[in-house]
């Protein structure tokens, strides 16, 4: 049977345990709660001393506290709980993982672990933070230091007697941290992270149109990719979709399909506000096919991701189901059977592998993810001329600041096209109106003698381009008349 520190008298406790108990008795440290629920309904279970359960929206994850110093462990836990109350359980999970990783990355972390007094702990913690700062600065990753900076600030405010030095924090507060660079993947031509190349997008769309999924796993792979192409949302949006969010309406013989997408705004319940998005009939039929297969499938024996668990209730069934169980106990398994955001990426990669979709740029399988499809979706809409406000609405952003990278990119493309066409567009317009002689076009056009089935006719006057068999975009319009230009600049037949 494992013994805890509370099983021994105070005189037999390690020095830092004694310091922790005394600070708690004096009310100098925040007391830890066993459960915390944020505004979105996510729950953090803190009953276990070593492992905490973070039941975030659409997923559950366990974090193991492997901290040798009892005082530091308590401070980190109290800070994480404060973030869960103020922000969200997901942010608290990211903070727990990030802070633990940063502190343990320092070479002198062992000094913190084996401190035997608060003064020694205070000095070791300051040296540890300075070591982390230098490493991040040298690695051009100084933007990650903000978590440690916020932790030290919180300690100075809510646990000043636990070894936090206000003078040290004043030094940390003066450090100007760079912001997280936004839009680099969108601007780059990285074949694994940036916008899909036109040939990749064409191959992907063709594969979706030709795909005939036969199993439940193949169908959810198909739907995951099709949703990414159609609505360009984040992976978490897809994990929160319920079967009841697929809507089919028929009016005057016309059937339309809609998808009610849960919003994932911070500190809100994702099902409190839904955004209705119209979808094309083919995708709508696939979604209804998936709903029917979900309801007819015995999850206990035919789990799509080779695991087993109980069947869901009829009122809370995810559209993209998985048989994989989460770490949540049965009494609080709100997100039971839901895919995690990372599993959406797995489904997309499985679809690419199953259809063997090769990129023309790399010669390898296309690297596909919800993020890349979102970049491609937004970039194409921006290139089509959508305004920032319309684009922000389609991407479910609260403001237009987050879509600037797409509009800036579309402006760069337009500038390049304008420069490439400079000096030629006037000539093209003159050619279309019949004001240009054939001799003026030799520099830009293929000579008539090289066009199959056409003989040179240098003695013929200006004619409209549509009279050429190589250029007839509007076949239903009579455009075979010769264009003449009189002295007044007027056109005539």
Q: What is the pLDDT along the chain (493 residues), one digit of tens a residue?
A: 333 445 556 566 778 888 898 899 999 999 999 988 877 667 888 888 888 988 776 566 788 888 889 999 999 999 999 999 888 888 898 899 999 999 999 988 989 888 889 999 999 999 999 999 999 888 888 888 889 999 999 999 999 999 898 888 888 888 877 665 666 677 766 778 888 888 999 999 999 999 999 988 999 999 999 999 999 998 888 988 989 999 999 988 899 999 999 887 655 666 677 889 999 999 999 999 999 988 876 544 333 333 333 334 445 688 888 654 444 443 344 555 778 788 899 999 999 999 999 998 888 999 999 999 999 998 888 888 888 888 888 888 877 777 777 777 655 555 555 665 665 666 666 666 666 655 555 554 444 444 444 444 444 444 555 555 555 444 444 444 444 445 454 545 4
Burial class (CB in 10 A: 0-12, 13-18, 19+), 410: buried
* Helix (H), strand (E) at residue 41: none
**CB of 24 closer than 8 Å to CB of 31:** yes
Maximum CA extent, the chain:
113
Q: Are strands 491-492 and 484-485 parallel, antiparallel or unpaired?
A: antiparallel
**CB of 370 closer than 8 Å to CB of 238:** yes
* Helix (H), strand (E) at residue 324: none
Please tell me the total number of residues recorded for the chain in this structure: 493
Q: Write out the two tokens for 350.
A: 């499985």
Count of beta carbons in the 10 Å neighbourhood of residue 396: 18
Count of beta carbons in the 10 Å neighbourhood of residue 161: 13
Q: Write out the two tokens for 426.
A: 């006037």
3-state SS, residue 10: helix
pLDDT of residue 393: 84
Closest by Cα among 99, 107, 22 to 66: 99
| Sheet with 43-45: strands ordered across | 35-37, 43-45, 51-56, 59-64
Distance CA 291, CA 366 (A): 28
Q: Which 3-state string (H, E, C) describes 355-370?
A: HCCECCCCCCECCCCH
The whole-model pTM stands at: 0.64
3-state SS, residue 482: coil
Residue for token pair 């109980």: 310
pLDDT of residue 488: 52
Distance CA 25, CA 426 (A): 85
Count of beta carbons in the 10 Å neighbourhood of residue 274: 15
Q: Write out the two tokens for 250.
A: 């028929």
pLDDT of residue 474: 45
- Cα distances from 341 to residues 91, 130, 241, 334, in angstroms, run 15, 35, 12, 16
pLDDT of residue 71: 92
Residue for token pair 């984040």: 234
């Amino acid at each position: 049977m494992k013994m805890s520190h509370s099983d021994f008298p105070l005189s037999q406790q390690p020095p830092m345990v004694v310091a922790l108990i005394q600070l708690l008795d004096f009310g100098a440290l925040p007391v830890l709660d066993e459960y915390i629920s944020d505004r979105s309904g996510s729950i953090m279970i803190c009953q276990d001393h070593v492992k905490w359960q973070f039941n975030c929206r659409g997923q559950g994850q366990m974090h193991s506290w492997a901290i040798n110093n009892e005082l530091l462990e308590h401070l980190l836990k109290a800070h994480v709980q404060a973030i869960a109350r103020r922000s969200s359980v997901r942010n608290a999970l990211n903070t727990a993982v990030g802070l633990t990783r940063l502190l343990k990355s320092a070479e002198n972390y062992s000094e913190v672990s084996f401190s035997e007094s608060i003064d020694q702990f205070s000095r070791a913690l300051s040296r540890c933070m300075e070591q982390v700062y230098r490493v991040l600065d040298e690695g051009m990753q100084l933007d990650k230091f903000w978590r440690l900076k916020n932790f030290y600030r919180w300690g100075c405010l809510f646990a000043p007697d636990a070894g936090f030095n206000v003078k040290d924090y004043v030094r940390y507060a003066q450090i100007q941290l760079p912001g997280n660079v936004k839009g680099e993947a969108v601007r780059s031509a990285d074949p694994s992270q940036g916008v899909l190349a036109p040939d990749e997008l064409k191959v992907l769309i063709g594969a979706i149109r030709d795909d005939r999924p036969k199993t439940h796993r193949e169908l959810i792979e198909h739907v995951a990719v099709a949703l990414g192409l159609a609505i360009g949302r984040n992976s978490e949006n897809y994990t929160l979709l319920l079967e009841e969010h697929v809507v089919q309406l028929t009016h005057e013989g016309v059937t339309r399909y809609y998808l009610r997408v849960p919003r994932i705004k911070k500190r809100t319940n994702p099902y409190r506000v839904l955004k209705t998005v119209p979808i094309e009939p083919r995708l709508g039929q696939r979604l209804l096919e998936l709903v029917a297969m979900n309801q007819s499938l015995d999850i206990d024996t035919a789990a799509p991701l080779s695991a087993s668990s109980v069947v869901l209730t009829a009122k809370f069934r995810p559209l993209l189901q998985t048989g994989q169980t989460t770490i949540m106990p049965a009494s609080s398994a709100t997100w039971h059977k839901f895919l995690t955001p990372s599993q959406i990426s797995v489904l997309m990669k499985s679809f690419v592998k199953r259809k063997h979709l090769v990129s023309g740029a790399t010669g390898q399988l296309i690297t596909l993810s919800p993020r890349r499809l979102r970049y491609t979706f937004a970039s194409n809409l921006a290139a089509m001329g959508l305004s920032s406000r319309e684009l922000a609405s389609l991407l479910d952003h609260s403001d237009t600041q987050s879509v600037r990278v797409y509009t800036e990119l579309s402006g760069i493309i337009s500038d390049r096209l304008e420069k490439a066409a400079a000096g030629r567009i006037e000539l093209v317009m003159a050619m279309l109106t019949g004001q240009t002689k054939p001799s003026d076009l030799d520099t830009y056009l293929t000579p008539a003698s090289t066009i199959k089935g056409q003989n040179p006719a240098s003695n013929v006057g200006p004619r409209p381009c549509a009279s050429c068999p190589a250029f007839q975009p509007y076949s239903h319009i009579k455009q075979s008349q010769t264009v003449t230009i009189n002295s007044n600049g007027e056109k005539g037949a």
